[in-house]
A = this chain, B = another copy of it.
């Protein structure tokens, strides 16, 4: 186990009707609140009304900024920063999924500083202060509701960059699984893959003697997979939605990575699919992870054996370590197919004629990952495995 520092200060306010806790979280602490959200869905499914009703009668002023899009844009962040500064807003309340939360975090960062917010993403400045962010979560996937990261796209310069800092962890996250019952199937299971990916990027490490976090990660993976199957049968299963929602937060608040070394190569490879073909993040991960696993499993047969045995119940008697590892990866691919996610370029109808270009872009800042350092040549090989 490596030395580490870890805390998880975000107050998770979880369960049916938990939006009614909003007044307690806000009153006496904040005076001017910016609701920040995407567009249609929260107005259609009643979440927007719930939030407005919960805030009704409080001694606060409420501002609104909608229009967040997937891959949240710098231009809207800048607009938010301006609004927050002008009005003296003291809390940004993200209502939605990862995009609304990431956009809120970026506004929170820009609003407390005189320099342009993009400078933080370009590493020209170190974050020193950020406004408080609260969350009403509607999509379990990115884990941004309790994480310290934000990813913003500079659409003019075609750059997608992140800032990670403890002060970007939201103060609180209202998590009502009922808000996720109306999620379409594709979004539900792309979210499931996103959640699993956050565990994978921490689980598959070469660091030894990390038994507790191995076991906690395996427990969370099994729970996600079990409950994904339940949602396949009945998308209205509140209990399954609750397990997935809670797992999504635990997957990415950092707990499962303590004492380990994160990887993130598969994310780096998948981002290129999204950049070139607009592939949904979760789908890009469903394509890249099986290929990455097949390429790197020999770098730590032991952890891939644990994955096979402890997550998928692969029987190990009379089998070589190699055989067990491959059986685990196959089980994972079968699971992805069961939840109707494509696991190859061809299944996702993505052409394969730009692999060289994607590989070049993937390693533009140096090799990817840690379990195995992925060079451009490795990236080409992995993309080829995913054809």
Using a CB–CB distance below 8 Å, which chain A residues touch chain B? 1-18, 21, 209, 211-212, 215-216, 218-220, 222-223, 226-227, 239, 242-243, 246-247, 250, 255, 258-259
Contacts and interface: CB of A to CB of B under 8 A. Distances in A.
A41 B222 CA distance: 43
A8 B8 contact: yes
A216 B222 CA distance: 11
* This chain's copy number in the assembly: 2
B6 A9 contact: no
Contact of A14 (B15, B220, B239, B259): B259
A227 B243 contact: no
Contacts of A216: 216, 219-220, 250
A112 to B, nearest CB: 19
A242 B4 CA distance: 12
B13 A243 contact: no
Nearest to A177: B1
Contact of A223 (B8, B211, B222): B211
A243 B211 contact: yes
Contacts of A243: 1, 209, 211-212
Nearest to A246: B212
A258 B218 contact: no
Contact of A7 (B3, B12, B223): B12
Given A209-B242, A215-B219, A223-B215, A15 B9 contact: no
A13 B6 CA distance: 7
Counting chain B CB atoms within 10 Å of each CB, the highest count among A11, A13, A16, A211 belongs to: A211
A184 to B, nearest CB: 24
A222 to B, nearest CB: 6
Which 9 A-B residue pairs are closest in the complex by CB-CB distance? A3-B15, A215-B219, A9-B9, A209-B239, A7-B11, A219-B219, A8-B8, A212-B223, A5-B13
A2 B239 CA distance: 10
Contact of A21 (B5, B13, B218): B5
Contacts of A223: 211-212, 215
B9 A8 contact: yes
B4 A15 contact: yes
A3 B15 CA distance: 4
Contacts of A218: 219
A373 to B, nearest CB: 25
A209 B211 CA distance: 26
Given A211-B226, A216-B219, A220-B212, A8 B7 contact: yes
A1 B219 contact: no
B5 A242 contact: no
Contacts of A220: 212, 215-216
